[in-house]
Structure formats: structure tokens, C-alpha cells
Structure 1
């Protein structure tokens, strides 16, 4: 039982990180109707910016405090992501208002390759470290209940708590603020939103900036765990099955979908992987997403769209 709970908790913590990245997909889709294939590249770009700024800024300003250096690096990386959001709105999405969905999807694919290349050109292509002070030593929980206790990584625990807090704050922002309601109005109908005075360009900059902030936090967490390298963009793409499972238009769906994927891949790898040679964790999420596409394409909490002709 103790080992099962250990695996379950590990899956929940990983799932929370998937949910955080998936939230970036959901935010942009809800506000613009665009499936942002560039979210993974945004995570990599943001993590590269954070890693390099945490080296350059303390060295350039002669800052000895690691905490202050990390704060300044975070602010600089966030400024870069806001700049990226402005460029995407100004030179890509702003030119494609009311175009077909496939056109917008192809535009985000172009943004993906641009960010991948620009990130490595500007910041370098080596493997970089991000150290924001998250404790890495594991701890044992419930030692009085289970013999030997349950082994939990402190870094994973703190990362999951940060991700959960971010998801809660952004969900509240989307649901209860005037800007959040404007984002939903823009998603429903671009032209109607413009006709009642909602500035479409400003809304898109805001939502891409928020998605950039989400990408930055996710990039810092994953970069701290795995190092900042090209594979981060592939890790971020694990959020694709999450949004398919939870629903492209649902913030709660991103949370539930992430937890299901995280727990499912951990349990299947531990209990089934040994019987089939392992590797289930790599493809489990995509296989589950395929099943949902066949059975319930809109996901668990997504809106079922009916077109009348």
C-alpha cells in the first residue's frame, strides 16, 4: 500500500505540472480560438531566458545575493515574454483576424520554429541549469503508518504546490475579473466583441503575455528538474493529451486532465511496464488521448459544438 501511495503521489505532482502547461493552451484557445502549437517552444524559450539571465545579470551588476539575482532574472525573462507576446500579436495574429482555424494553427507552427531557432541563437544551445533554491533532498511521510514511510521528493512537492497555486489564481482571474470576461467574449466572436468596444489587439497581447508567464513558471520548474535543453519543448507537448482529455475550453478540465495523465502514466509504468518491457510512460498519454478523440472528442469538460446548416 505504501508503494502504491508513493507512486500515486508522484503521479499527482507530475500531473499538476502538466496541468500548468496545459493551462497555457486553454487560455489562448479560450481568448482567440487558436490552438497554440507554440506553447512548448514558449516554455523552452522562457526557460532559456531565465537560465541565461540568472548568469548574466548577477555577473554584469556584481550582485552576490542569489535570491536577488534570481528575482531580477525572472523579471527580465518576463519582460522578454511580454515582448514576444506583443510581436506575435502585432506581426502574426493581428494580420489574421477572422481567418480560418487551420490558418491560425499553421501560424503558431511558424511561431514554434521561430522561437526554437531564436532561443538557441540568442541564448545558446548548451544544457543550462536553473537553481531557484528548490530543495532537492527527498523526505519520508507517514512513517508511523507505513513501514519506512512514503518517499516524496521535496522539489516535486514544492513544484506541485507552485503549479496548483498558479492554476487557482489564473482560473479565478478568468472567471471573476472584467478582463477575464472580455477574454471569453473575444473567444466567442471576434467581430461581436469588437463591435461592443472590446479592443481585440490589447486582449490578445494580454492573453499571450499570461501564457508567456505560465510558460516561464513551467520552464523554471522543469528546467530546475531536468536542466534547460531542447527536450523541454517535447516535455511541454505532453500537455497536448491533457487538453484533449480535459477539453480545450475548460480550465478545470486542464487540471483534471493533467492529474489523470500524471497518475495514469506513473501507475501504468510501474505495474504494467515490467510485464511488457517498459516504456509505457512515453506513449500512455497519447494513447489515452486517442481513445478520447474516438469516444468523446470534446473532452471531459469541453463544450460540444453543434453547427446547424
Structure 2
């Protein structure tokens, strides 16, 4: 039984039905000739969402990504250090002393999975520094994702790959030259590393990494270009800045620039944040109508569930796996 048959047979009510509706809405959106932006919050790369996300990118089901700096880098960490990751099935019962022991062994815990400091972070640091210094020496400036694309293109990491490159969403995005917006990149390991090298003097110009404001500037022009001949959907995994940042581009164009543009034409969010007072991540889609982001007729879905379970199901439904 394929994913579509399974979901259509079993996902008939409640969150399950909404999950199916969102997947079918995605297909209908694309079949009408439209595009899709996906946002990634949380630790989706460490959860190995790339296994299904990469195929979605390769098959042109996704046309841009907005993610946290952590998701940008952690797909690369997993690519080169997968065999050194350590899973902690009993993470809920860890004591502070157990956490210290993990830290002393160079293991940075993300829920039940530990990212190895030396094998993951430090393995790419020197290579990234060379990419940053090359840009500085040539007086060029790039977005965070463009530096990682340059790192992948250089081929210096290939001998260190520990997973099938087909399961890396960053490799798929690089091969498609997908735009990736990473607001708040400084709140990430590689962002921290970059600042440390500026302080040390290894890099003189902190401005070689383009800022969040410049990313919003690019997003405005990208959105206007994409929506000239199609509309754009918005599939949000989790909450936070990864979702907040890109969805604001429409009211920016319509209300601040006072220019006409299309609203987002599809909206879905997978979140474990239940509807509550003052919670953006737990706000129902209709609230976005008042902010000039969605329309009355925009197909909208909110799935209150675990994205590590739901997202691969939706992706595989769209891919007809």
C-alpha cells in the first residue's frame, strides 16, 4: 500500500484528515501552475527530514526555503558526521550530571540525538573559514546559504560524506540553486563561529555576510518576480522566525510599499503549539487575514501534531510514493 492509498484509507478525521487535506491541497496548488515556499523551524535537519525533503526539491515541488541557521548547517553536519551521532532513547530521564557527561564527551544534545562537536562542527569550520576569507579577499558579500553552496560546490567535503547525498536537502537545494532565506542566522553555530573569527581577526569585515534586512530586500523582489505568472503557497513547519519572517513580505509590499501583489495562495502549518492567546505559532490561519497575508478564500490548514511524523507523510503523499 502506497502512502496515498494508506492516508486516504486511514486519515479520515481530526488532525489526520487535515493532514490529508493539506497534502491534497498542495497537489492541487502545483497542478494549477503555482509555486511553494517551505519554512523549517526546530531541528528538522537533525531529525533527518532531508530524506523526504530532498526529493521534494529535486522534483520541483518546493521552490524556496526559509529556515533557521541551525537547520541550514545541521543538514551539513549530518552529511559529514552521521556515523558519530549518538541517540539517547531515555533522554527524558537524564539528570543534570548525565548532561554534563555528554558535554564533556563533545556531544551536543537535541532531544534524543547528540551532535558530535569535533566530527560535525569542527570538521567544516576550517573549510568555511576559507570560503569566508576568499569572499573578503575578493571584496564580495554573500548570504549564509550561498557560502554553504560554495562549500558544497568546492567538493572538499565529499570524502567525508557519511550518508547518501540523495538524502541531503542542502545538496538538492544547491543543485537546484534554490533561494534559502535564513533570518537570525547569527543565532546558529556557524553564525557564532563567524563572529569568533571576526573577533580573532581572521576576518576583518563582518559585513561579508549579508544581513537579515538584505534578505528581506531580496525576498521582496523574489516574491514579486515569482508571482508575476503564478501564485505562491506557504507551508510552515513549526513556528518562530522561520515562519514569521517570510510571511510578512506580502503586507510589506501591499501596505508599506503601497504596491499591489498577490496574497499567499495556500497556507498550511504543522505545529505542536495549540491555539492560545497571544501565541503567533498557535494562531489560527484566519488571524493572518487581518494582517493582509491571507485572503478569505485562501486554502488554509493547521495540523497540531509532531512535524517529524507529519511532514514526511505529506511529502511522500505529494511525491506519490
Q: TM-score, normalised by structure 1?
A: 0.25
Q: Which of the pair is proportionally richer in helix? A: 1
Higher relative contact order (CA 8 A, sep 6+): 1
Q: Which of the pair is proportionally richer in strand? A: 2
